[in-house]
């Protein structure tokens, strides 16, 4: 079968989007889990500070989430814009 | 060189069978090795009940082994049972079936090692709790095996479904994507659920009074750790049962393959991360059970955030399948 240039480019963009979002999801998933684990531990030791600890956890997780959102943006760019 | 379809069917099933047991052997071996190391540590701490610890170790290892036995069964089917269909789609389906069950066994095998190891250590610490610990270990390890069972289900569907009527392009990419989606996403869920079950066995040995709340928290944590494997299974089912218009272009096929890869790899991280989170929450619920409410709440909030990238992956996969 003959593969045309435009078809090949589209196929590569689709594959790239899948790998970008898939691989990009690993790090934030693990990292946010670690942040939450430490927050649970800290609340277990010092339950009075639960509010402060939950807030810190969420801020830290939001920062850790950023690379996952970069991956999502790049995947959507590859699918719809490029 | 041109070969007929029977030759390719053999190529697909032998390559798939080899990969099935090759990947499938990784996880159970690591998990059982961890259990044995913990059992040795436990016996050195309390040699007087070495028989009880050995029994706990063997029961735990037997469960960790089951994921790998699923892979062995599929490998034997691929090697010796003739393919029900005779088309090039079946070639890819047999190959994908092997990869799927092999990858899915990795996480469950490693994961089931943690509760078994913690039960051995706990038996040495609190010999009177040995029955309670074994029960908790069995429940926890059984839940760890569900992602491997998802892989087994998809690989049986791949082997025995009548795919011959579907066009080769792009169905070959859809069946391969279904295998990768279910197999890869099971790795994180199996490993994560194992961490949670390990924490609950350790916690029960430390605080026998909190056993009930610890087991309940374990089940909640494990259930949420498994969500990304369920997304993987869902994408696998969609890829298998949706019908596609025939097209010899490369792009539609790559979109389907990419959907499977995206959901599969994307499911690994959230599964492991949620497992780490619930591990810590269950450990501290056992130590400080008056605070179980606030700890469960924090665990759920943390897990929901860790889940987000898994949901992004599912969205991208669904776009790849339905929009493009």
Of B267, B283, B298, the CB nearest to A39: B298
User: Which residue among B257, B273, B316 places its CB closest to the CB of A30?
Assistant: B273
* Cα distance between residue B124 and residue B112, in whole Å: 19
- Work out the pLDDT band at A82, boundaries 50, 70, 90: confident
Burial classification of residue B79, based on how many CB atoms lie within 10 Å of its CB (0-12 exposed, 13-18 middle, 19 or more buried): middle
Query: Can you give the pLDDT at residue B177?
Result: 96
For residue range B74-128, list pLDDT tens digits in order: 999 999 988 888 888 999 999 999 999 999 999 999 999 999 999 999 999 999 9
pLDDT confidence of residue A2: 65
Grouping H, G, I as helix, E, B as strand and the rest as coil, residue B226 is: coil
A25·B309 Cβ contact <8 A: yes
Across the A:B interface, residue pairs with CB atoms under 8 Å apart total 200
Average pLDDT over residues B141-164: 91
**Nearest-CB residue to B269 (from A27, A35, A54):** A27
Cβ–Cβ of A40/B299 closer than 8 Å?
yes
What is the chain B residue with the closest CA to A72? B312
pLDDT digit string, tens, across residues B113-146: 999 999 999 999 999 999 999 999 999 999 999 9
Measured from the Cβ of residue A82, the count of other Cβ atoms closer than 10 Å reads 12
- Compare all CA atoms of chain A with the CA of B302 and give the residue at the minimum distance: A36
> Is the alpha carbon torsion for B313, B108, B200, B118 positive or negative?
negative
Q: What is the pLDDT of residues B15-68, one digit of tens each?
A: 999 999 999 999 999 999 999 999 999 999 999 999 999 999 999 999 999 999
Residue from the list B279, B298, B315 with its beta carbon closest to the beta carbon of A43 = B298
DSSP B257-280: HHHHHHHHHHHHHHHHHHHHHHHH
Spatial distance between the Cα atoms of B125 and B116, rounded to a whole number of angstroms = 14
Give the mutation candidate from A2, A10, A16, A30 for the B interface (greatest B CB count, under 10 A).
A30
> Does the pLDDT of residue A37 top 70, yes or no?
yes
- Interface-testing mutation among B178, B258, B264, with chain A (most A C-beta atoms within 10 A): B258
The structural architecture, per CATH, of the domain B12-323 is Up-down Bundle (1.20)
Instruction: Determine the pLDDT at residue B163.
Output: 62
Kindly give the residue spans of alpha helices, DSSP state H, lying in B207-249. 211-225, 227-241
**Neighboring chain B residues of A21 at a CB cutoff of 8 Å:** 262, 266, 312-313, 316
Nearest CA to B77 out of B14, B23, B22, B24 is that of B14
CB-nearest partner of B306 from A29, A43, A53: A29
From the CA of A35, how many Å to the nearest CA of chain B? 8
Where do the domains of chain B lie?
12-323
CA angle (B251 as vertex; B247, B252 as ends), nearest 5: 50
Q: What is the CATH number of domain A29-82?
A: 1.20.20.10
Please tell me the distance from the alpha carbon of residue B161 to that of residue B100, in angstroms, as a whole number.
15
The predicted pLDDT at position B318 comes to: 97
Set of chain A residues whose Cβ sits within 8 Å of the Cβ of B274: 29, 33
Quote the ipTM score.
0.91
* Dihedral sign for Cα atoms in the order B157, B161, B165, B169: positive
pLDDT at position B8 over 80: yes
């Amino acid at each position: 079968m003959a593969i045309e240039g435009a078809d090949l480019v589209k196929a590569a963009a689709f594959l790239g989007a899948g790998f970008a979002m898939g691989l990009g999801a690993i790090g934030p998933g693990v990292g946010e889990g670690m942040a939450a684990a430490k927050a649970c531990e800290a609340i277990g030791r010092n339950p009075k500070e639960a509010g402060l600890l939950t807030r810190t956890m969420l801020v830290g997780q939001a920062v850790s989430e950023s690379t996952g959102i970069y991956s999502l943006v790049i995947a959507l760019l590859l699918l719809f814009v490029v | 060189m041109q070969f007929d379809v029977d030759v390719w069917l053999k190529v697909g099933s032998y390559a798939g069978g080899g990969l099935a047991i090759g990947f499938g052997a990784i996880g159970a071996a690591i998990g059982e090795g961890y259990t044995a190391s913990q059992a040795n540590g436990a016996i050195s701490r309390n040699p007087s009940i070495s028989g009880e610890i050995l029994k706990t170790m063997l029961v735990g290892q037997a469960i960790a082994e089951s994921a790998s036995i699923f892979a062995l069964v599929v490998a034997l089917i691929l090697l010796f049972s003739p393919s029900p269909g005779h088309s090039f789609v079946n070639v890819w389906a047999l190959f994908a079936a092997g990869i799927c069950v092999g990858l899915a066994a990795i996480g469950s095998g490693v994961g089931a090692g943690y509760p078994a190891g913690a039960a051995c250590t706990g038996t040495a610490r609190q010999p009177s709790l040995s029955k309670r610990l074994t029960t908790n270990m069995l429940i926890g390890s059984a839940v760890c095996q569900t992602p491997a069972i998802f892989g087994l289900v998809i690989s049986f569907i791949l082997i025995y479904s009548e795919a011959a009527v579907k066009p080769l392009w792009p169905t070959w990419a859809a069946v391969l994507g279904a295998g990768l989606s279910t197999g890869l996403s099971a790795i994180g869920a199996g490993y994560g659920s194992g961490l949670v079950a390990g924490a609950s066995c350790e916690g029960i040995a430390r605080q026998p009074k909190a056993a009930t709340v610890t087991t309940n928290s374990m089940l909640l944590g494990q259930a949420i750790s498994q969500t990304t494997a369920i997304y993987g299974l869902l994408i696998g089912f969609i890829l298998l049962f949706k019908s596609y218009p025939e097209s010899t272009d490369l792009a539609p096929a790559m979109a389907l393959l990419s959907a499977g890869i995206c959901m599969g790899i994307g499911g690994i991280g959230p599964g492991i991360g949620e497992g780490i989170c619930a591990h810590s929450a269950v450990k501290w619920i056992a130590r400080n059970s008056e605070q179980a409410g606030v700890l469960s709440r924090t665990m759920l909030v943390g897990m929901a955030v860790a889940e987000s990238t898994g949901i992004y992956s599912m969205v991208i996969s669904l776009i790849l399948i339905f929009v493009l």
